[in-house]
Chain A
Amino acid sequence: MKNKEPLILAVVVFFTLVTYYLVEPFAHSQMHKHVESESFAYADLPAIQKQGDVTRGQELVMGAGACTGCHSINVVKVPATMEPQMAAASYGVNPPDLSNAGAIYDPKFLAAMIKNPAHALMVEHKFDADAGKMHPMVPFYGAGGDIDQEIADMIAYLQSIAVKAEEVTPIMAFENACGRCHAVSYENWTPIGAKPNFKDKKDSLAFDIKLLEYQDSLKAYMGKTPPDLSMYIRSRGEHYVSTFIENPQSQLEGTAMPRVGVTPEAAEKVIEYLQDAGDTKRHEREEIGMSVMIYIVIFALFAFLWKRKVWKDLH
């Protein structure tokens, strides 16, 4: 009698795969918009033409550029002018510390940001200067010379004080680019910083009140409280998160979330941070997965040899 098992197996596998294809890849391609990554090239922003000068940049950042009126630069001992919740009450969100801005953000983006924040952040639908709605960050109108040269100088200075690109850590990139709006409770992160382990309940509550005040301002500024990102790597997936960081409008038109302008390397660090939060055991899963797969192949092999021996007597 002819052995029909290969044919039966083929039929079972075929229908299983067809069903899988229809309910997973195909259905999801129909349900979700597909957005291609542009590798964080920011092609819409003009390239920096001028060679920047660090010393002149420093003078501008500290002086005529008036950056330090709102931004702290801890690495050169320029402190924040006020506490986060007070800053948020004034600006909507706590302005970032600029110590490592030169390493985390794309230079083209920084240049565009200094010149026209609402444009660089892609939030012109919210902050329309013509309609009198200004972005809280005041654009730099130049210090009297060639404005493009001055901006190049400032960026050269910011890059000179920042850590090297390869020294950017996941938490550094995340805190700077995302962490002033988003909490990641599973990593104990709040938009006003990691919550310390207070011994006294009073201190803990005081921190919470500051956080709530901060989030109230943030909500008024953004339209809603930005979500906690603890599980976003699993609820949205790496591709979605990555393209969303690159250009929020591409995935969610009209969103209040600004483009953050991180470099491709910093974006990878942000993703790594989110993986540590929401898919903490991924390395262990892959390691154990490999051992289990090897074991189970051996198991199947021995089962096959046993079957062959037993069935030799049956035919």
Chain B
Amino acid sequence: MAHFTKATSVKDWLNQRLAIEKVEKVMASEYWIPKNINFLWAMGLILMITFVLLLVSGIFLLMYYQPNVDTAFYSVNYTIMRDVDFGWLWRHVHGVAASVVFLIIYIHMFTGIYYGSYKKGREMIWLSGMLLFITFSAEAFSGYMLPWGQMSYWAGMVITNLFSGGSLHADFLVEWIRGDYVPAQAFLSRFFMLHVLLLPLAILGLIGLHFAALRIPHVNNQDGEEIDFDAESKKYLAGDKVGSKVMRFGNDFLSKDMMVVGIYLIFFFYLVFYHYGFAMDPVNFDPADGLKTPAHIYPEWYFLWSYEILRPFSTDIGLMAFGFAQVIFVLLPWLDRSPNTVPASRRGLFAIWFWAMLLDMIVLTAMGKLPPSGIFSTIGLVAALTFIGLWILLPIITMFEKKV
């Protein structure tokens, strides 16, 4: 049993019981971060802050939201938007943050791909990150159902229909997911449960895993440099702050993190108050009507690329292509056969692959929203085939990559 002595101060009392000094060292002052990183490394904290904004605004929305097909739309658009003091603020923050969080996730993801931060012991970081992406996607989708507007209803209809598996006609599965033949009360209640309980729990757990996965391999850096963290941290602690290649997370890197967060929040709140239309689709301000499909149905922008991979093909091939798109990013650490953990710019063909993939996903995103006719459907088909082709090429081009 541990030995306790009479505490000399509150800090000492806590220290004996919770080892707060040690925790502070492990989490902040002796959590060593390479110096040669840029602001893209602040995306993690930005995601954390955005998640907190979603959580807090969500709590206040939850106080007045009613998960009932007859009252859901009213509770959101009348009670929350008109009656509740600052209800509109929580809704706007929640809606905008739900959209912006995906922009940051994509930046975070492509940063990882560019700098090779999924290799050499960092596979678990990538894997837990991809699991977070998937749970965030499910969280976004389930949340989109809750206002029970036209887009909620029809997105619910279309996306759950995907589970029929095309020619397999697994209608029982679709009905099982919905708890009804169409999206109705059972569907709204269970998606409400998923959105406010099960998925947030999963996200919290996965965030823990994502952070833990970072401890042993350490944060990557922008030059692909192998840093001896023990030696460099000794140097820092010995007083050679300038000469050391590493810095403390707190407050050294944290101060830069907060600076980037500050700039991000200017952008974020501008969107919340003055430019929210992109995140709160006008069509969803019409109440759900199961007998009238809106003229254009499209998912939120962050789902468009995978939606577009589904669209240009016949049902079965489309579903297979869609399934492929959903899992393929998870396999990146194993599809990239190169031993190099350096920025893409120094990896020859991989640099071309990286920019081609980024551009292709932007094209897919754009085509996913446009009406699927004429030139747009042709471009969409080419972009979808390019996407699949690029992933087939990846192991081949990386296998022949020269070691740097």
Q: Taking beta carbons and an 8 Å cutoff, which residues of A are in contact with B?
A: 1, 4-5, 8-9, 12, 15-16, 18-20, 22-24, 26-27, 30-31, 186, 230-231, 234-237, 278, 280-281, 284-286, 288-289, 292-293, 296-297, 299-304, 306-307, 309-311, 313-315
Q: Taking beta carbons and an 8 Å cutoff, which residues of B are in contact with A?
A: 35-36, 38-40, 77-78, 81-82, 88-89, 92, 103, 107, 222, 241-242, 247, 251-252, 255-256, 258-259, 261-263, 265-266, 269-270, 272-274, 277-278, 280, 282-287, 295-296, 301, 304, 358, 362, 365-366, 369-371, 376
22 contacts between A and B (CB under 8 A): A8-B38, A12-B40, A19-B362, A22-B366, A23-B366, A24-B278, A26-B366, A27-B370, A31-B371, A231-B286, A235-B283, A285-B88, A286-B273, A289-B269, A296-B266, A296-B269, A299-B262, A300-B262, A302-B262, A303-B262, A314-B241, A315-B242
Assess the B369–A27 pair: CB atoms within 8 A: yes
| Chain B hits for A286, CB < 8 A | 273
Which residue in chain A gives the minimum CB-CB distance to B363? A22
Considering the chains assembled together, what is the distance between the CA atoms of A16 and B222 in angstroms? 21
| Chain B hits for A27, CB < 8 A | 366, 369-370
Q: How far is the CB of A197 from chain B (nearest CB, A)?
A: 17
With A8-B38, A311-B252, A311-B255 known as contacts, the answer to whether A15 contacts B362 (CB < 8 A) is: yes
Considering the chains assembled together, what is the distance between the CA atoms of A231 and B150 in angstroms? 12
Q: Which of A18, A20, A237 contacts B282 (CB 8 A)?
A: A237
Q: How far is the CB of B329 from chain A (nearest CB, A)?
A: 18
With A30-B371, A288-B273 known as contacts, the answer to whether A281 contacts B285 (CB < 8 A) is: no
| Chain B hits for A285, CB < 8 A | 88-89, 92, 273
Considering the chains assembled together, what is the distance between the CA atoms of A285 and B285 in angstroms? 18
Considering the chains assembled together, what is the distance between the CA atoms of A235 and B77 in angstroms? 11
Considering the chains assembled together, what is the distance between the CA atoms of A314 and B252 in angstroms? 8
Assess the B89–A231 pair: CB atoms within 8 A: no
Considering the chains assembled together, what is the distance between the CA atoms of A30 and B373 in angstroms? 11
Assess the A296–B262 pair: CB atoms within 8 A: yes
With A31-B371, A293-B273 known as contacts, the answer to whether A306 contacts B258 (CB < 8 A) is: yes
| Chain B hits for A8, CB < 8 A | 38-40
Main secondary structure of the interface of B (DSSP, over half): helix
Q: How far is the CB of A169 from chain B (nearest CB, A)?
A: 20
With A234-B285, A299-B262 known as contacts, the answer to whether A9 contacts B256 (CB < 8 A) is: no
Assess the B38–A4 pair: CB atoms within 8 A: yes
| Chain A hits for B241, CB < 8 A | 313-314
| Chain A hits for B89, CB < 8 A | 285, 288
Main secondary structure of the interface of A (DSSP, over half): helix
| Chain B hits for A281, CB < 8 A | 81-82, 88
Q: How far is the CB of A185 from chain B (nearest CB, A)?
A: 8
Considering the chains assembled together, what is the distance between the CA atoms of A309 and B269 in angstroms? 27
Considering the chains assembled together, what is the distance between the CA atoms of A53 and B338 in angstroms? 92
Q: Which of A31, A292, A314 contacts B247 (CB 8 A)?
A: A314
Q: How far is the CB of B63 from chain A (nearest CB, A)?
A: 17
Considering the chains assembled together, what is the distance between the CA atoms of A299 and B265 in angstroms? 9
With A23-B369, A304-B259, A310-B255 known as contacts, the answer to whether A235 contacts B282 (CB < 8 A) is: yes
| Chain B hits for A1, CB < 8 A | 36
Q: Which of B88, B107, B284, B370 contacts A12 (CB 8 A)?
A: B107
With A19-B362, A289-B269 known as contacts, the answer to whether A311 contacts B256 (CB < 8 A) is: yes
| Chain B hits for A20, CB < 8 A | 278
| Chain A hits for B358, CB < 8 A | 15
Q: How far is the CB of A11 from chain B (nearest CB, A)?
A: 10
Q: Which of A16, A311, A314 contacts B103 (CB 8 A)?
A: A16
Most buried by B among A16, A296, A302: A296
Which residue in chain B gives the minimum CB-CB distance to A24? B278
Beyond the given pairs A15-B362, A293-B269, 17 more chain A to chain B contacts, judged by CB atoms under 8 angstroms and listed by A's residue number, are A5-B39, A9-B39, A22-B362, A23-B369, A27-B370, A231-B287, A236-B282, A281-B81, A285-B92, A289-B272, A289-B274, A296-B265, A301-B262, A303-B262, A304-B259, A306-B255, A307-B256
| Chain B hits for A293, CB < 8 A | 266, 269-270, 273
| Chain B hits for A235, CB < 8 A | 282-286
| Chain A hits for B262, CB < 8 A | 296, 299-304
Considering the chains assembled together, what is the distance between the CA atoms of A4 and B38 in angstroms? 8
Which residue in chain B gives the minimum CB-CB distance to A26? B366
Assess the B296–A31 pair: CB atoms within 8 A: yes
Q: How far is the CB of A226 from chain B (nearest CB, A)?
A: 14
| Chain B hits for A26, CB < 8 A | 366
Assess the B256–A19 pair: CB atoms within 8 A: no
| Chain B hits for A5, CB < 8 A | 38-39
Q: How far is the CB of B225 from chain A (nearest CB, A)?
A: 12
| Chain A hits for B278, CB < 8 A | 20, 23-24
Q: How far is the CB of B272 from chain A (nearest CB, A)?
A: 8
Most buried by B among A231, A293, A309: A231
| Chain A hits for B39, CB < 8 A | 5, 8-9
Q: How far is the CB of B369 from chain A (nearest CB, A)?
A: 4
Q: How far is the CB of B52 from chain A (nearest CB, A)?
A: 15
Q: Which of B77, B247, B252, B301 contacts A231 (CB 8 A)?
A: B77
Considering the chains assembled together, what is the distance between the CA atoms of A227 and B76 in angstroms? 19
Q: Which of B38, B261, B369 contacts A303 (CB 8 A)?
A: B261
Considering the chains assembled together, what is the distance between the CA atoms of A33 and B214 in angstroms? 51
| Chain A hits for B88, CB < 8 A | 281, 284-285
